[in-house]
Amino acid sequence: MKTIEALAPDQASLSAASRLTRQSNWPRLEKIDQLGLLWGECQGSGSNPYRVVVDTGDHGYKCTCPSRKFPCKHTLALMWIAATTPASFTAAGSTPEWVNDWLGRRRKASPQPAAPAPGAGGKSIGEASRDDESADVEDAAAVERREAAQRKRTLDTQSAVSAALDELDQWIADQLRLGLAGFVDNSSDRCRRIAARLVDMKATALAGRIDEIPSRLMGLRSEERPDAAIRELGKLVLVAKAWRSTPGDAELRRLVSTSESREQVLANPDAKQVESVWEVLGEKIESRRDGLVSHSTWLLDLKSASPQFALLLDYFSASAGRRSNAFTPGDRFDARLVFYPARQPLRALVADRKGDVPTGEWPDFGFHTADPLAAHAAHQNTAPWLTDCPVMLPPGAILLDDRGAAWWQAAGDPHGIALPIADTVNPTLLGLDLMATAALWNGSRLDLLAAQSGFGRLDLS
């Protein structure tokens, strides 16, 4: 217990400890002295309490909360209570099933068997053979149990996510019934509440997406927000319908609940792989409401006959500060990329980076279509739930309208297509002839990444 007593809990852990010990329906704090186990329950934002268990022998722990911090504040709170007010615990007559289940799945380190003394008799060949056969039977049984447990967890997760999507459908219907104006004005509170419910019901990725809707709406002019709200809610409906039809689909599982690990993507024999020369177009760093920072790095395939892109996506805690960049806009390198399975593969991992390549001009992609958003339309037809779509714009220029807002306009026709730009633009770029421009289109605004001009490459991200 000395290690526990040395812990210095933060304010969140102390608040969790207060909820564990002082709320009227809780505590449910128990322990078994013989096994050195502590466990309890803490009411979170959802209807079901979080279950926490700690092994004081080796300080192993488990909590059912969705926190990305390890150990979480509920675990620290439980250990803090054990160290400061052990009288809060009551002796348990029996161990709950969920604690036994955790104990059964743990892999505790065991001491290595002592080597036989010199001269001691060893096993016969028959005994050793029988031991090997027994070990094979036990290993096969253990593998079968693990696979059965994995299947059960998968079914439980699918059931929880299905219930979460039912609740999401009802929430969307409520927003439409109450009116879009009210939703836009109170989107922050409304989205935060449903996002918390979805986290409790294991639809974590979808919860994060909903949590970012208010910032997307507030980035638009007031007259554009109702239409944008319809698009955002419509994409949620499409994701929910698609998941119900194919809950085992890797892309939909990534959008709704959890993503594959790097190791799983690299080991997937069906994953798309592209070996080429890539240029770093730019990066997009956004702080999320869940305390994470998303770092998007956009790449351009320089050997493809048509514009092909790749996205390197990373998440890290905002409290950790900005990480050092592995890539710099404008860098070129030879590498093999492995893409996450998707209908329109875009997110990728660098599997093998071979070396840097000298910089130069972009290939002549030909721009055979007059519609610069044709690629976006194709993406939407295949995966209509996508948000930011990379596009390569034909020759054009950046101009200002009467209100001072920046627009990209196609060259050659002053009355042709024009697309609004999300951020402010450096005045030195206004009116400059751009031979090609790489940008992200979200259905209402362009986020500029880079461009080629008579002066060379321009970094716009």
- For 135-155, the pLDDT digits (tens) are 555 577 777 778 788 788 888
- C-alpha dist (Å) from residue 323 to 285, 299, 333, 345: 11, 19, 21, 26
Tell me what pLDDT residue 294 has.
87
pLDDT for the residue numbered 158: 87
pTM passes above 0.75: no
Question: pLDDT tens for residues 327-376?
Answer: 889 999 999 999 999 999 999 999 999 989 998 889 887 765 567 788 88
pLDDT value of position 368:
53
8 A C-beta contact, residue 396 and residue 408: yes
Closest CA to 294 of 282, 284, 303, 304: 284
What stretches in the chain show pLDDT beneath 50?
1-9, 11-12, 14, 21-28, 32-33, 109-116, 118-120
Are the beta carbons of 450 and 329 closer than 8 angstroms?
yes
**Which residue reads 């675990």 in tokens?**
75
